[in-house]
Structure 1
């Protein structure tokens, strides 16, 4: 596998990784005896640590302890936490592509990709937050992008618009999963939920919020995380504009 940049291979901007050095350069270290560990092992250890204890627990010292290496020896593979985070995100992305081939129905295929993203983020709860700092496209991420673009081939959108759709989809999934995880954590405090329900009932009955009162009085819908995600996803995907002449067929369209 390709190696991360050494401190001298970075772009010169703090916190910015040069993707060519990260993904295309041969794996380090560049001199000395062959190490007893690999970049793959370092990345896997960091992912295991983040899964178990959260992203804040991932430090170079903690990862080194997991692989049985000295801290300084890790810097030939990941010179800083930003580089390590890039490696971690792409590493877990290896399990993202659905096993089933594309159907040719872009809505079905796009929704399948979103469900795969959600499942991946639920397996790695640190991932939604990590994506906000994502700056490069590693091999697994590129494979997912290629698959997603193939799913969007039937859409009358230009290339930039297709990339925007994929970004919108990923952002929606990350935001929704973040909300799911927060809600699940709050579920352990039933008094809080009951207090919130009593508050809304009082507000709805005060006569100043008739629209809210009507909504709260309407029949409920399944509130399981999966059902809620699917409803939101349907609205997002089915709402994409695919009318002829837009945007790729329209002069100046975007």
Structure 2
């Protein structure tokens, strides 16, 4: 395959040996290449990640980098796998599948905040990288205590991951918008709060007014995140209980 070109057949970078059986040891490892790409994305955003920029980061020529990473899509896959390696997985599940899934969800949210570029790269295809498989195997081990079929367990994992990605992605988007304002977030919130108060005071929204009257201060996003994850777990636990003979 020509450097930077397209293969006549689909390729999976993990199926390619990182080092040929003969010849000199490669100068760079996939881990080093992925770490360089992640540093660039963390600092300047995913749009700044290019083969040329990554090559410069590790100190090699752009064309030489294609010997390690044939396609930019492969580079993205290395980055997602590097993200998956950051999960702090216990040696064994705790025996409480709900606690384990909540623990993983909390970690995933924190990792997305650490790497804001991540939601744009997440894909079911990338989930089968080496560290992605390690994560998935742990999830399935943790879910052995859930009396449900394998397909249901895979759906649970996918639903939790989707919830985390959406929740954290919204948090990141809100923070990005706030940074674009020429005033402080508190000033922005005060202006919006005043507008909402005027609308509620019009009497056109009695149900919403009742809800807001019960609200006790700012939203605790950590607590709200935990409740959302637990409600998903509740649904799967209930469904599995209903399926029992």
Query: Which residue matches 2:141?
Result: 150
Query: Which residue matches 1:119?
Result: 110
Query: Which residue matches 2:87?
Result: 96
Q: Answer yes or no: is the 8 Å Cα contact 2:80–2:126 preserved in 1.
A: no
Distance 1:137 1:161, change over 3 A: same
Query: Which residue matches 2:241?
Result: 244
Separation of aligned partners in 1, 2:173 and 2:20: 40
Shift of residue 71 of structure 1? 0.7
Distance 1:117 1:88, change over 3 A: same
Pairwise CA RMSD: 2.6
Instruction: Say which structure is richer in helix.
Output: 2
Q: Normalised by the size of structure 1, how large is the TM-score? A: 0.82
Shift of residue 173 of structure 1? 0.5
- Structure 1: runs of 5+ lacking an equivalent: 12-17
Shift of residue 31 of structure 1? 8.9
Post-superposition CA distance 1:86-110 (Å, at most 9, x none): 1110112112143374221111111
Q: Answer yes or no: is the 8 Å Cα contact 1:6–1:77 preserved in 2.
A: no
Aligned residue pair count: 236
Separation of aligned partners in 1, 2:28 and 2:142: 38
SS in 2 for 1:103: coil
SS in 2 for 1:153: helix
Query: Which residue matches 1:230?
Result: 226
Q: Answer yes or no: is the 8 Å Cα contact 2:5–2:71 preserved in 1.
A: no
Q: Say whether 1:140 aligns with 2:137.
A: no
Q: Answer yes or no: is the 8 Å Cα contact 2:139–2:157 preserved in 1.
A: yes
Shift of residue 135 of structure 1? 4.0
Separation of aligned partners in 2, 1:139 and 1:104: 24
Q: Normalised by the size of structure 2, how large is the TM-score? A: 0.85
Shift of residue 204 of structure 1? 1.4
Distance 1:201 1:114, change over 3 A: same
Separation of aligned partners in 2, 1:25 and 1:239: 41
Query: Which residue matches 1:220?
Result: 216
Separation of aligned partners in 2, 1:206 and 1:40: 59
Query: Which residue matches 2:68?
Result: 77
Match of 1:205 among 201, 204, 209: 201
SS in 1 for 2:38: helix
Distance 1:197 1:142, change over 3 A: same
SS in 2 for 1:131: coil
Post-superposition CA distance 1:214-237 (Å, at most 9, x none): 111113266343223222222222
Distance 1:234 1:50, change over 3 A: same
Separation of aligned partners in 2, 1:194 and 1:154: 47
Query: Which residue matches 1:8?
Result: 7
SS in 2 for 1:169: helix
Q: Answer yes or no: is the 8 Å Cα contact 2:19–2:25 preserved in 1.
A: no
